[in-house]
């Protein structure tokens, strides 16, 4: 089992494609950690992924970005 960090700018277009890959890796027994910020981190946590903020959660440019709503 490996510990894998996924770090990308918190944009829906960057994050959504990674979810399928992350789920497949997790199903194979790997530990996935998303490094993200704002609402996207909360949404990924709701999908069962471990998340860590690499930016302040209230940083205005990313705080409200979402992968599930416009």
Contact 59, 38 (CB under 8 A): yes
What is the pLDDT, as a whole number, of residue 43?
Answer: 92
List the one residue out of 39, 57, 54 whose CA is nearest residue 6. 54
Full-model pTM: 0.80
Instruction: List the structure tokens of 67.
Output: 């992968």
CA-to-CA distance for 55 and 25, rounded, in angstroms? 25
What is the pLDDT, as a whole number, of residue 55?
Answer: 76
pLDDT per residue as tens digits for the range 11-50: 888 899 999 999 999 999 999 999 988 888 889 999 999 9
């Amino acid at each position: 089992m490996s510990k894998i960090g996924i770090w990308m700018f918190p944009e829906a277009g960057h994050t959504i494609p990674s979810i399928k890959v992350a789920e497949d890796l997790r199903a194979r027994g790997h530990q996935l950690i998303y490094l993200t910020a704002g609402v996207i981190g909360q949404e990924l946590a709701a999908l069962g992924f471990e998340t860590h903020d690499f930016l302040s959660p209230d940083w205005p440019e990313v705080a409200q970005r979402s992968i599930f709503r416009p």
